[in-house]
Structure 1
Amino acid sequence: MLVHIVDDNNTNLMLFEQIVRRVDNEVSIACYPDPLAALVDCSRQMADLVLVDYMMPGIDGHEYVRRMRAMPGAGDVPIVMITAAADRFVRQTALELGVTDFLTKPVDPSEMRVRVTNLLALRRSHLRLRDRNRWLAEEVRNATQAVLDREEELIVRLAKAAEYRDPETGSHIHRMSHYSRLIARGLGLPDELCDLIFKAAPMHDVGKLGTPDDILLKPGRLTDDEMEVMRRHPVIGHAILSGSSSQLIQLGAEIAITHHEKFDGTGYPYGLAGEKIPITGRIVAVADVFDALTSRRPYKLAWDMERARAYLIENVGHHFAPQSVEVFLSAWDEILEIRQRFADPVEPEQTMG
């Protein structure tokens, strides 16, 4: 505990120091005949209790309190003003500026001891409460982070479960997640939302858990009836993920239900068009289709990057939102870097020009 005593009279400083020392000989006491020097030290290390005279040269007690209360961390420090002034205005102004208590000159040592004892006890209680609140806040942060970590783990496990049934690879999920975040950033979305999109994007096809293997793994073209079954997976994915209180899983549900919608309204499951498609769905549509085109599947070879790029350009305004494609293509070097970093194992005849 640190006590500042501010008084231009050296005799008063010595007397007040002795009284405070008798209250608690473990506190540190700093005496200042110059109030400006006291303010400088207070800005370096905040006091726990301040005893300040009202009548001082340079700046008076009012100005001292005004400047001190403006410092960070000074709002709860007890301040006792010592004054001989009987003027009611002096005390009223001092209270308005944040003075905690008063002592009247000549100071009664017994009264001063009691007031200092009470105010030091009040300060200790405040510091203990502040430390406890900080500890509780840290515990809340840790608990919240643990919940977020479990949510992310759940997402990863759901995505892996879908991978075991789907010919898509884990590398596809990594690539399209990075592509999605890249587009989101290029569109100027808040950093927090960009990171949520990155984490939620792997859930886009979780509904394929409900698609029969004979359709999901069919090496040839699907019949109309089979395609109708396949097109149910966004609704299934939304049903799996909807209803959560988690913002991340809510976003995953939104992506699951909208990533097959097309900008011109010919997509599924609802035929949404333009900006009626949530921006997350518009973003993931570009990332998912591009990576699907450039990846091998049981029913096709991988396209080369330039052919897939041309496909995006040809389908701007039809399948894809123009802004999402524009941002994607403007970051082509980063796209190539992501593609290389999360490349699939190369097999013979895997790429088709």
Structure 2
Amino acid sequence: MSNETFSILVVDDEPANIDILLGILKPFYNVKVAPSGVIALKIVEQYPPDLILLDVMMPGMDGFEVCQKLKSDPVLSQIPIIFVTALVQGENEERGFSEGAVDYITKPVSPSITLARVKTHLSLAHQMRTTESLVRKRTEDLMKSQQSAISMLAAAGHYNDTDTGHHIWRMAAYSKCLALRCGWSYEQASLLAQAAPMHDTGKIGIPDSILKAPRKLTDAEMTIMKTHATIGHTILAQSDTPLFKMAAEIALCHHEKWDGSGYPAGLIGEDIPQSARIVAVADVFDALTMKRPYKAPWSDDDAFDYLQKNASLHFDPCLVDFFVEARDEIVATKQYWNDLEKEGTLPSIDNFLPQVVY
């Protein structure tokens, strides 16, 4: 990268000092000048430079204050600042470094030292930006891979169920709504929304003859069907990331019931992970309000009534209360996903809720 691609802002209230630094730097860099701290801040906001040479002793706003303001801005804080000063080293130099400066150049400036210091810090800043860009790109690639894994595992769990449509994504949206309503952070609620669609991953291990049986399952078949919870947990627990750890506990426990009559472990009350309790409410509400070959969709009123009647039996009563309180958000989310299903579209799994819900 040639020097001409770098821009430098020189800040000094003395025209003679500016002329000296211009003479040293202009043959190699794009240089802008500012005669005061106030003007410097305005220039930086409009045309952020790659590096700033900043005089310390200026009337009105001195260099330390300019540095403080720049370092308090998340966007501008990464610009390296070199103080140019006639002050003796020691306390003032220590303060400059504590304010965020990367180096000092003492007056009268030496052309060779100035060029060497500027080149060094521009190179370091460029390397840092390049590294940060690579990290962002790799993080984006990792997130895409993770989202693909979520979609594939969710689809695998419902591969033999041709009538679910957007069910797994819609119930994930309800789960996020409910998690936010009962106090989860936005980040954790979003993690739950990504984990929830994988709750039936274990159905991939259930024979087609049971999954597609056009009748009520026998007791023996139901025993096999119930193993999908432990199968899903076994598959998802192979990853130790927060996302898949949550997905594994949901897969294992989403059929547990508040009164202990669920499976596979017969857990009671708060012994059931809250993530699974949330998904249980969201999953059943969506199943009730879906049209299936063997039933018409229930009305919203009937579905909410069912949840309330089964609070303290199947469902965590506090979560049912929160779900009912969030009725407007739930209904808006349901309409949002129904519209998407009619269009045949599926947004990013990070965008589970309609804008009105945020």
Q: TM-score, normalised by structure 1?
A: 0.76
On the 8 A contact 1:221/1:299 being kept in 2, the answer is: no
- CA deviation after TM superposition for structure 1 residue 97, in Å: 2.2
Change (3 A) 1:51 1:145: closer
On the 8 A contact 1:81/1:101 being kept in 2, the answer is: yes
Work out which of the residue numbers 67, 80, 103 in structure 1 matches 2:84.
80
Q: What do you get for the CA RMSD once the two structures are aligned? A: 3.2
Change (3 A) 1:115 1:277: same
Amino acid at match of 1:200: A
- CA deviation after TM superposition for structure 1 residue 212, in Å: 2.8
Work out which of the residue numbers 270, 279, 287 in structure 2 matches 1:275.
270
Does 2:223 match 1:225? no
Work out which of the residue numbers 186, 189, 193 in structure 1 matches 2:181.
186
Amino acid at match of 1:4: V
Within-5 A mapping of 1:318-333? 318-333=313-328
Q: Give the distance between the partners of 1:31 and 1:301, measured in 2 at CA.
A: 73
Change (3 A) 1:50 1:209: closer
Change (3 A) 1:226 1:75: closer
Amino acid at match of 2:118: L
Q: Which has the larger displacement, 142-151 or 292-301?
A: 292-301
Q: Give the distance between the partners of 2:261 and 2:209, measured in 1 at CA.
A: 26
Q: Give the distance between the partners of 2:299 and 2:278, measured in 1 at CA.
A: 21
Structure 2 regions of 5+ residues with no counterpart?
Answer: 1-6, 71-76, 97-102, 343-358
Within-5 A mapping of 1:1-353? 1-4=7-10, 6=12, 8=14, 13=16, 17-18=19-20, 20-22=22-24, 24-27=26-29, 28=31, 30=33, 32=35, 38-46=36-44, 48-50=51-53, 52=55, 58=59, 64-72=62-70, 73=77, 76-82=80-86, 90-98=88-96, 100-103=104-107, 107=108, 112-159=110-157, 162-164=158-160, 166=161, 168-295=163-290, 303-340=298-335, 341-342=337-338
On the 8 A contact 1:203/1:252 being kept in 2, the answer is: yes
Q: Give the distance between the partners of 1:195 and 1:217, measured in 2 at CA.
A: 32
- Provide, for residues 9-41 of structure 1, a one-character-per-residue CA deviation record: whole Å limited to 9, x for no partner: x6xx17x62465156435426374xxxxx1112
Change (3 A) 1:131 1:310: closer
The residue number in structure 2 matching 1:86 is none
Provide the secondary structure at the position in 2 that maps to 1:100. strand
Amino acid at match of 2:195: A
Q: Give the distance between the partners of 1:287 and 1:31, measured in 2 at CA.
A: 60
On the 8 A contact 2:56/2:83 being kept in 1, the answer is: no
- CA deviation after TM superposition for structure 1 residue 310, in Å: 2.6
- CA deviation after TM superposition for structure 1 residue 176, in Å: 2.0
- Provide, for residues 64-102 of structure 1, a one-character-per-residue CA deviation record: whole Å limited to 9, x for no partner: 33223313238732222126xxxxxx4322212226132
> Whose radius of gyration is greater, 1 or 2?
1
Provide the secondary structure at the position in 2 that maps to 1:342. helix
Q: Give the distance between the partners of 1:182 and 1:220, measured in 2 at CA.
A: 34
- CA deviation after TM superposition for structure 1 residue 298, in Å: 6.5
Q: Give the distance between the partners of 2:193 and 2:10, measured in 1 at CA.
A: 53
Change (3 A) 1:118 1:20: farther
- Provide, for residues 289-313 of structure 1, a one-character-per-residue CA deviation record: whole Å limited to 9, x for no partner: 2333344556666544444333221
What number of residue pairs does the alignment pair up? 316
- Provide, for residues 170-198 of structure 1, a one-character-per-residue CA deviation record: whole Å limited to 9, x for no partner: 24323322222221222121222222222
- Provide, for residues 148-183 of structure 1, a one-character-per-residue CA deviation record: whole Å limited to 9, x for no partner: 332233234324xx242x365224323322222221
Q: Give the distance between the partners of 2:264 and 2:84, measured in 1 at CA.
A: 71
The residue number in structure 1 matching 2:356 is none
Q: Give the distance between the partners of 1:316 and 1:65, measured in 2 at CA.
A: 64
The residue number in structure 2 matching 1:350 is none
On the 8 A contact 1:7/1:53 being kept in 2, the answer is: no
Q: Give the distance between the partners of 2:78 and 2:208, measured in 1 at CA.
A: 68
Change (3 A) 1:323 1:51: closer
Amino acid at match of 1:320: F
Structure 1 regions of 5+ residues with no counterpart?
Answer: 33-37, 84-89, 346-353
